[in-house]
Amino acid sequence: MIIVIQCRDRVGLVASISALMARHQYNIISLGEHVDVAENLFFMRLEVDGNAADTIALEQELYAILPADALVKINPQPDKKIVVLVTKEYHCLADILVRNYFGTLGASVQCVIGNHDVLADVCRRFDIPFHHVSYEGQTKQQAEEQITALVQQSNPDYVVLAKFMRILSPVFNSLFPMRIINIHHSFLPAFVGANPYRQAFERGVKLIGATAHFVSNELDEGPIIAQQIIPVNHGYTAADMMSAGKEVETSVLAKALKLVFDDRVFVYNNKTVVIE
């Protein structure tokens, strides 16, 4: 059983929670916690072994011993549902589809939506529905309304932008607050927006990277989940950086999704606490 807790900090929280687990004969398998001293916030993720028959009563007992503003989740949905948005690049999508096929993703892919039809065939090979919504010949709002309708049909827990390369409107974002996960091909906050590898090449950087983050209404400024970098040098062209960066993008997105699906990520104040 997994228990996640977020609340105001105070002395004795870990002891009180541990004592409650003991009274219920729950063996604590793992316990991760963090205190943001500046904000006086407490975060905890527990894995316990024991009879999970009456989680409602346990939740009520936890609320009784926690500060009034506490947020508690017991056994969050173990198999999340996701919808993946793509354009033409296959590397992140292919990794998601392979993990989904072998049951190691931690979520189930309901469908893939692309603003080009380039990746329709790979989705068919994995027996995943693919929907093509072109932005050509219609306004951005019209295209986004079609995407919204398709996403809502699947009722996903999360929407994953696997190189979607389109800016979503505040209206769309408001439908899935802190539930849209994007992979950006730079080590944010450096090189936001379009063509970050070209920007990196022109700046002569010695490191490039990728960032997985939740989407907010500010471009590439949502809470960061995971990041990774690799070294480059003067011999790299922008195309070389892009090629090398694809491996990092795939790795970072996979790690971020695993963390989110395992309920290890807490979001607050446009940043995250990640309990690994």
Indicate which residues carry an active-site annotation.
Answer: 220
Within 10 Å of residue 73's Cβ, how many Cβ atoms? 15
Residues, the chain:
276
Cis peptide before 189 (omega within 30 of 0): yes
Q: Which residue carries 């609320």 as its tokens?
A: 63
Q: Are strands 158-161 and 180-184 parallel, antiparallel or unpaired?
A: parallel
20 with 62: CB under 8 angstroms? yes
Q: How many CA atoms lie within 13 A of 206 on its CB side?
A: 0
Q: State how far the Cα of 42 lies from the Cα of 89, in Å rounded to an integer.
A: 40
Task: For 195-209, give one letter per residue: b (16+ CB within 10 A) or e.
Answer: ebbebbbeeebeebb
